[in-house]
């Protein structure tokens, strides 16, 4: 099926209109009429080849919300008209222990990304900056009733990527949690941690974000460059979820952790980080990593957001504004997720 899209034709090239081909429906496939597509910083890292060699033309987008328009012969979970979402991966082996445990995001064979990769048959994948997508039903999520599709789209990556480490390291009442970086991921992490009942501090390098952080529910705001405040807050955090997209000096933030405290890294800077190990072993602190979340946990997160009455704070844009929006994301000037109206592709 011919599908309108926006693509980067080579590394670092601006995005431009492009046409792609979507496969015919297999028995377990769902055809989704995309309504909205979120802009993740990972789209930019990959289209600018900041992580590793990418595949071009690239149609980015792994925060997809839309409506089912057709289903394959063996699909029973979904029907035309259903409101659904698709996140960061669209195929996994479903045979390894991780897949069997609902941790498809840690599939031992390696998950097939929604874009910038090939599926197990060798087909190049194209993402959500397009009008339609075909996805195996296992990787399709249900958007809860009452949640608008535009504000739901960012939950499919930013939402689950921050929810998963908050659950894993047990954010909740009595825990002091820091969310580092107030961007797309950070603003969702902040909302989740507040909804989970933790005492939440937003840790930022942008003084201009204090008011927004408080409006979004943060109990406290901490500026990384404020030496006095950083000293006062040393040794007080149980958990810090670090969403920062750029390489930074980690030592000041590590010192914020209590004995046995954890920094869960979800940000994926393009360069290795500098850090002093003394900051870790002096208080048995830990640095951990976390990557999106599995399918069952993603559905749990969507339902949790609906139950607590929140989703993403977005700026809705047309396809023609993507390049400008990307520059704003890189300049930490997104409030707090750009979402593209797919009718403009």
Residue ranges in contact with Zn ion by CB under 5 A: 40, 42, 157
State phi, psi for 175 to the nearest 5 degrees: -105, 135
Sole binder of ligand NAP in the list 30, 152, 185, 314 (CB under 6 A): 185
Closer of 117 and 183 to ligand NAP (Cβ): 183
**Which residue intervals of the chain are DSSP H helices?**
41-47, 97-100, 149-152, 158-168, 184-195, 210-215, 227-232, 251-254, 278-281, 295-308, 322-330
Sole binder of ligand NAP in the list 98, 201, 204, 255 (CB under 6 A): 204
Question: Is residue 295 a contact point for ligand NAP (CB under 6 A)?
Answer: no
d(CA 35, CA 66): 5
Which residues between 78 and 117 bind ligand NAP (CB under 6 A)? none
Question: Is residue 193 a contact point for ligand NAP (CB under 6 A)?
Answer: no
- Residue number with the smallest Cβ distance to ligand NAP: 183
Question: Is residue 60 a contact point for ligand NAP (CB under 6 A)?
Answer: no
Sole binder of ligand NAP in the list 77, 109, 205, 286 (CB under 6 A): 205
Give the HSE-up count for residue 187: Cα atoms under 13 Å, Cβ half-sphere: 26
In the complex, minimum distance from the CB of residue 268 to Zn ion, in angstroms, rounded to a whole number: 9
Question: Is residue 291 a contact point for ligand NAP (CB under 6 A)?
Answer: yes
For residue 26, count other CB atoms closer than 10 A to its CB.
12
Sole binder of ligand NAP in the list 99, 151, 182, 322 (CB under 6 A): 182
Closer of 107 and 334 to ligand NAP (Cβ): 334
The DSSP bridge partners found for residue 242 are 180, 265
Partner interacting with residue 209 (select from ligand NAP, Zn ion, none; CB below 5-8 Å by kind) = ligand NAP
Closer of 39 and 216 to Zn ion (Cβ): 39
Binding characters for ligand NAP, 231-250, by CB under 6 A (x = yes): ------------xxxx-x--
Cβ atoms of 190 and 213 closer than 8 Å: yes
d(CA 222, CA 90): 38
| For the chain, the helix, strand and coil percentages under 3-state DSSP, each to the nearest 5 | 30, 30, 45
Question: Is residue 312 a contact point for ligand NAP (CB under 6 A)?
Answer: no
d(CA 15, CA 342): 15
In the complex, minimum distance from the CB of residue 31 to ligand NAP, in angstroms, rounded to a whole number: 26
Is 324 strand, coil or helix?
Answer: helix
For residue 49, count other CB atoms closer than 10 A to its CB.
17
Closer of 143 and 157 to Zn ion (Cβ): 157
Closer of 40 and 90 to Zn ion (Cβ): 40
Lookup result for tokens 């005492």: 199
In the complex, minimum distance from the CB of residue 125 to ligand NAP, in angstroms, rounded to a whole number: 17
Give the HSE-up count for residue 179: Cα atoms under 13 Å, Cβ half-sphere: 36
In the complex, minimum distance from the CB of residue 279 to Zn ion, in angstroms, rounded to a whole number: 29
Question: Is residue 329 a contact point for ligand NAP (CB under 6 A)?
Answer: yes
Q: Which long-range contacts (CB under 8 A, 24 or more apart) does 225-229 make?
A: none
- Residue number with the smallest Cβ distance to Zn ion: 40
The DSSP bridge partners found for residue 180 are 203, 242
Closer of 18 and 62 to Zn ion (Cβ): 62
In the complex, minimum distance from the CB of residue 111 to Zn ion, in angstroms, rounded to a whole number: 13
Q: How many helices (H) and strands (E) does the chain have?
A: 11, 17
Which residues between 7 and 46 bind ligand NAP (CB under 6 A)? 40-42, 45
Site residues for ligand NAP per CB under 6 A:
40-42, 45, 157-158, 161, 181-186, 204-206, 209, 243-246, 248, 266-268, 291-292, 329, 332, 334
């Amino acid at each position: 099926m011919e599908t309108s899209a926006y693509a980067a034709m080579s590394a670092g090239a601006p995005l431009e209109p492009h046409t792609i081909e979507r496969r015919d429906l297999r028995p377990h496939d769902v055809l989704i009429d995309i309504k909205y597509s979120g802009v993740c910083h990972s789209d930019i890292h990959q289209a600018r080849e900041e992580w590793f060699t990418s595949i071009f033309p690239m149609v980015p987008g792994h925060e997809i919300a839309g409506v089912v328009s057709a289903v394959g012969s063996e699909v029973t979970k979904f029907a035309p008209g259903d409101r659904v979402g698709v996140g960061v991966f669209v195929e996994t082996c479903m045979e390894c222990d991780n897949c069997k445990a609902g941790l498809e995001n840690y599939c031992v064979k390696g998950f097939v990304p929604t874009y910038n990769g090939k599926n197990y048959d060798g087909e190049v994948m194209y993402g959500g900056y397009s009008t339609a997508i075909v996805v195996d039903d296992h990787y399709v999520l249900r958007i809860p009733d009452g949640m608008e599709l535009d504000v739901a789209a960012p939950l499919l990556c930013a939402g689950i990527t921050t929810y998963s480490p908050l659950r894993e390291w047990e954010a909740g009442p009595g825990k002091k949690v820091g969310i580092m970086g107030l961007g797309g991921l950070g603003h969702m992490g902040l909302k989740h941690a507040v909804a989970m009942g933790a005492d939440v501090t937003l840790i930022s390098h942008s003084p201009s974000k204090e008011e927004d952080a408080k409006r979004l529910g943060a109990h406290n705001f901490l500026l990384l460059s404020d030496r006095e405040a950083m000293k006062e807050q040393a040794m007080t955090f149980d958990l810090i979820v670090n969403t920062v997209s750029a390489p930074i000096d980690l030592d000041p933030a590590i010192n914020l952790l209590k004995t046995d405290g954890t920094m869960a890294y979800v940000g994926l800077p393009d360069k290795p980080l500098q850090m002093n190990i003394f900051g870790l072993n002096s208080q048995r602190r830990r640095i951990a990593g976390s990557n999106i979340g599995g399918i069952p946990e993603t559905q749990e997160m969507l339902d949790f957001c609906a139950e607590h009455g929140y989703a993403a704070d977005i700026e809705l844009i047309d396809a023609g504004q993507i390049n400008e929006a990307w520059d704003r994301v890189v300049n930490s000037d997104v409030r707090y997720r750009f979402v593209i109206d797919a009718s403009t592709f």
